[in-house]
Amino acid sequence: MKTIRLTAAQAAIRYIANQFNEDGEQFVAGCWAIFGHGNVTGLGEALYAEREAVQTWRGHNEQTMAHTAIAYAKQMRRRRAMMVTSSIGPGATNMVTAAALAHVNRLPVLLMPGDVFATRRPDPVLQQVEDFQDGTISANDCFRPVSRYYDRIMRPEHILTTLPRAFRTMTDPADCGPVTLAFCQDTQAEAYDYPLSFFERKVWRMRRPEPDPEELAQALEAIRNAKAPLIVAGGGVHYSLATDTLKKFAEKHVIPVVETQAGKSALPWDHPLNFGPVGVTGSSSANTLAEKADLIIGIGTRFQDFTTGSWSLFKNPKRRILAINVQAYDAHKHNAISLVADARTAMEKLTKALGKHRASAPASRLKDKWFKDADAVTAAPDPTSNALPTDMQVVGAVQRSAGKDTVVMCAAGTMPGELHKLWKAEKPMSYHMEYGFSCMGYEIAGGIGIKMAEPQRDVVVMIGDGSYMMANSELATAAMMGIKITLVITDNRGFGCINRLQMGTGGEEFNNLLDKAHHVNPSKIDFAAHAGSMGAESMHVGSIGELETALKKARKAKGPVAIVIDTDPYPSTEAGGTWWEVGVPEVSTRKQVLEAREKHDINRKAQRAD
C-alpha cells in the first residue's frame, strides 16, 4: 500500500479538495476562516498549501461566516457546501447559532473549530471551558445537539473514518445538515502515513429514494378519494430539483398548490394553480383552500407552525395529511399518511399511477381577489403625503424595480411576513427566506452566500434596522471581495414586528421600539453613514419614489449598495393570515391581556391533535 506522510490538517484539506458532486464540481466550494490559536498553525498552514484547490476567504465574525456558507448551500439546492473554521473558545461557540440554523433548515455546512489538546498536557489552555465532572468535555460539545454529525478528531488516523462520514451526512437528502468536526489543535499538527487511495477523487451522488409500494398504494388511494386535495409545497421541492415535476403533477391532476416560506417560488406566482402563500403569513386565497381541503399533500415540508396556523388552519373535519418527505421523521408527523421518498421520484410515481385522474379546479376568483388586495397595499403612496411609508409599500417599490434575475432575501422581523404574502416570485429560487430559525443577522451574510452561489443574479437583501444592528460586519467583507448585493434597510426604530405582536396580545409597548425602551439619550443612528464607512455605496432616501430611483441606480453598481428608508413601525397587511399560538398570560392586572387570552382560548379550540 502506497502512503504519503502528512499532518492530520494537511490530509483533511487534501481529502476535502477531492470530493465532488455528480455535476463534476468540488462539493466544498471553499473555506471561510478566522484564524486564532487552535487552527492557525495546523489548518492555517494546510489551507495555505492547498490554496489553489480550496479557496479560503476571511470574514469578520464566525457566526456570520457560517451564515454565508449556509445561504450558499441553500441557493445551490444543497448540491454544494462550504467549510468554516475557527479557533477554540469564543470563535467556536460563535458558530453554534449558525449550526442550529443549518440543522433546523436541513442544510449542509462543514464546521471545523479548533479544540483543546488531545494530550491534555498543557491544560487548561487559553479559552478552554473545563467541566468539573467530565474531562472529555470542551466548548465544542455545545455543537452536539445542533449537528447532524459530530466528531472530535483526537488522533491523525481519525480522519480516515470521520471525513467519509461527514460527507455522507452532508450529501444524504434525508440526513442532510451541519457537520461539526472538533479538531484538537495538537492533532492537526501530528503526522501520519496516509494511504494514497484515501485522496482519490470521489463523486458523491444525491440519492433519490423510491417510495415503498404499500405506502405508495395508500397515497394513491387517498388522492383518488379526495374531493378537495391541496398541495403544500415546501423547501424539499427545490432541493429535489422538482419544480418542473410539481408543475406537471399539479396541472395533470388539477390540484391547487400553496407555498411555505421555504417552498415559495416553486411555481411562478401567476401560475393558475398557484394560490399563494399558506399559513400565518399566508394569503386569503391559500388559506381558504386550506380550511376546506380534505387531503393536505405536503411535499418536502416539515409542517412548521407558521404553515399550519399552529394546527388550527386545516378545518375540514374529514381532512387527512399525506406527507411526502425524504426524511421519515417529517413524513410521520401528526398521524400523516406517510410516503417516505424523494419528492421528484414520488410525484413521478404518483402521476404515472393516477393516470387521467383529475380533481375539481378551484375558483380563480379567490386568487384574483387576493392579488387585488396585495396590489392595493404595495402601491406607491401619494407623493404629496408626509406620512412615513409602510413596509408593504417598500416591498412594492422593490418589486417594481426587480428584474427577472432578482433574488429577494430576508430572515427575521417584519419583512418575512410581508414578503411571503406580497412578493411575486417569477422563477425558482428567486425568493430566499431563512424562516426555519428566523435568525436575525443572517441577512447580509446570507446575501453574500446567494451571490457567490449565483453570481449572475441580482441579490436584494431586505433587512430591518434591528437585524442590521445584530450583524453587519460582513458588509465590509462584501466590499473587500467586490461582491455586489443591494441592502434595503427599513428603519422603523426598533423591533417593529415583535412590538406589534406585543400589542396584539394585549401587552403594553415595552422594550421593543427604541423610544419605548429604557434610555438616557435618544438613539440616533445614521445607517447610511455606517454602511458607507464599511465600503458600501450608501444613501438615505426620503420617499418610495426616491427608493425606486435608488434601486435602479444600484443595479449598475460594482460592489455592495445600502439604501436606507425610514418606515412606519405599526401597519401590517391586514388581508390574509391566520391564527398563530403564542403564550398569552392567563392572569394579568391588565384588561387588554385578559381579553387577548379569551381570544386565544377560542382559537385553541380549532387546533387538531391528529
Per-residue pLDDT reduced to its tens digit, 507-547: 999 999 999 999 999 999 999 999 999 999 999 999 999 99
Confidence band, pLDDT 50/70/90 cuts, at residue 163: very high
CATH code for the part of the protein at 3-204: 3.40.50.970
At 361 the pLDDT is 83
Q: Phi and psi for 138 in degrees, rounded to 5?
A: -135, 180
Query: 428: which residues sit within 8 A by CB, 6+ positions away?
Result: 238, 243, 265, 266
Instruction: State the average pLDDT over residues 121-149.
Output: 96
Q: How far, CA to CA in Å, does 11 sit from each of 140, 182, 459?
A: 22, 15, 36
Q: Which three cell numbers stand for residue 476?
A: 465590509
Cα separation, 383 vs 56, in Å, equals: 48
pLDDT, tens digit, 9 for 90 and up, residues 245-297: 999 999 999 999 999 999 999 999 999 999 999 999 999 999 999 999 999 99
Cα separation, 40 vs 31, in Å, equals: 13
Cα separation, 155 vs 206, in Å, equals: 30
At 531 the pLDDT is 98
pLDDT, tens digit, 9 for 90 and up, residues 264-274: 999 999 999 99
Terminal alpha carbon distance of the chain = 58
At 609 the pLDDT is 75
At 463 the pLDDT is 98
Confidence band, pLDDT 50/70/90 cuts, at residue 418: very high
Taking the mean position of all CA atoms in its chain, how far away is CA 351? 30
pLDDT, tens digit, 9 for 90 and up, residues 429-443: 999 999 999 999 999
Instruction: State the average pLDDT over residues 181-210.
Output: 97
pLDDT, tens digit, 9 for 90 and up, residues 559-591: 999 999 999 999 999 999 999 999 999 999 999
The amino acid sitting at 284 is S
Residue-averaged pLDDT of the chain:
97
Cα separation, 148 vs 432, in Å, equals: 23
Q: What DSSP assignment string belongs to 553-571?
A: HHTT-SS-EEEEEE--SS-
Packing angle between helix 62-75 and helix 96-105, nearest 10 degrees?
20
Q: Which three cell numbers stand for residue 529?
A: 453613514
At 401 the pLDDT is 97
Cα separation, 43 vs 37, in Å, equals: 10
At 257 the pLDDT is 98
Q: Is the pLDDT of residue 608 over 90?
A: no
CATH topology of domain 213-366: Rossmann fold (3.40.50)
Say if residues 564 and 539 touch (Cβ distance below 8 Å): yes
CATH topology of domain 380-566: Rossmann fold (3.40.50)
Q: Is the pLDDT of residue 352 over 80?
A: yes
3-class DSSP state of 210: coil
CA dihedral 161, 166, 172, 178 (to 10 degrees): 160
Q: Is the pLDDT of residue 364 over 90?
A: no
At 385 the pLDDT is 87
At 538 the pLDDT is 98
Q: Is the pLDDT of residue 461 over 90?
A: yes
Percent of the chain exceeding pLDDT 70 equals 100
User: Alpha helices of 89-184 — where are they, by DSSP H?
Assistant: 90-93, 96-105, 159-171
Cα separation, 296 vs 231, in Å, equals: 6
Confidence band, pLDDT 50/70/90 cuts, at residue 391: very high
3-class DSSP state of 297: strand
Same fold, 213-366 and 380-566: yes
**Residue ranges covered by each domain of the chain:** 3-204, 213-366, 380-566
| H or E stretch covering 81 | strand 81-86
Q: Is the pLDDT of residue 610 over 80?
A: no
At 198 the pLDDT is 98
Q: Which three cell numbers stand for residue 115?
A: 479544540
Confidence band, pLDDT 50/70/90 cuts, at residue 363: confident
At 23 the pLDDT is 97
Bridge partners (DSSP) listed for residue 488: 462, 563
Confidence band, pLDDT 50/70/90 cuts, at residue 384: confident
At 600 the pLDDT is 95
Confidence band, pLDDT 50/70/90 cuts, at residue 318: very high
At 127 the pLDDT is 94
CA dihedral 599, 604, 607, 610 (to 10 degrees): 180
What's this model's pTM, rounded to 2 decimal places?
A: 0.97
The amino acid sitting at 321 is I
Instruction: State the average pLDDT over residues 131-147.
Output: 97
